[in-house]
Amino acid sequence: MQLFVGLGNPGGKYEKNRHNIGFMVVDEIARDHGFSPWKSQFQGQVSSGNLGGEKVLLLKPSTFMNLSGQSVGEAMRFYKMTPEDVTVFHDELDLAPSKVRVKMSGGHAGHNGLRSIHQHIGEHYRRVRLGIGHPGHKDRVASYVLSDFAKAEAGWLDDVTRGCADGAKELAAGDGPRFLNAVALRTAPARSSKSAKPADTPKPKSVPTPEPEIDTRSAMQKLADKFRG
């Protein structure tokens, strides 16, 4: 069994925040793969289902971001999982919007949700880093992550959440590259190699072949003209 955790803050006030992109991804996975209705458990909201034959529990902690580890640790211990069975989807300031990366273990880079998880289960879990971009200065980070995605970002945000759902089975199977490929097919679809011919390109006009001239001279005129020449 595996535990897929989406990070965010509970409540309608935070629903569309950049900090809640982890919630958005696990919501899409639940919808796309027919998971059970969400219910309250482990200090969070949980939904269960199967991904490619692998039993997976989705978790959205209700403890607020900086206490996420309490919920994750409780669920992990209940099902006797190891940290390696846990995958955390979280917002990533150091990646450009729409970029997604998979990482195993490592530091928390100042992310409050990851810091809390580190305190409760250690660092040896898998992370799916969901790029949201950086506001440009560290003093603006708090207000930036707690602000809603702009309307202009709706397109790439939809591509990322759907792409993660598309590749969820591969992620559950431990195939990070195939998961990322599924995301890329949404966020950066391949372009056709065939170059289209411009529709307004005029076709070359056909030049009519001149008709051969017909010699109407009589035999005597031809003979006379020959001697004149």
User: Which residues are the active-site residues?
Assistant: 19
Beta strands in 20-132 (DSSP E): 39-41, 44-51, 54-61, 86-92, 100-104, 126-131
Q: Does residue 14 contact residue 146 with C-beta atoms inside 8 Å?
A: yes
Q: Which DSSP helix (H) or strand (E) runs through 84?
A: none
- Laid out side by side, the sheet with 126-131 consists of 39-41, 44-51, 54-61, 2-6, 86-92, 126-131, 100-104
What does the alpha-carbon distance between residue 215 and residue 30 come to, in Å, rounded to a whole number? 89
What does the alpha-carbon distance between residue 63 and residue 5 come to, in Å, rounded to a whole number? 13
Query: Tokens 């945000």, residue?
Result: 157
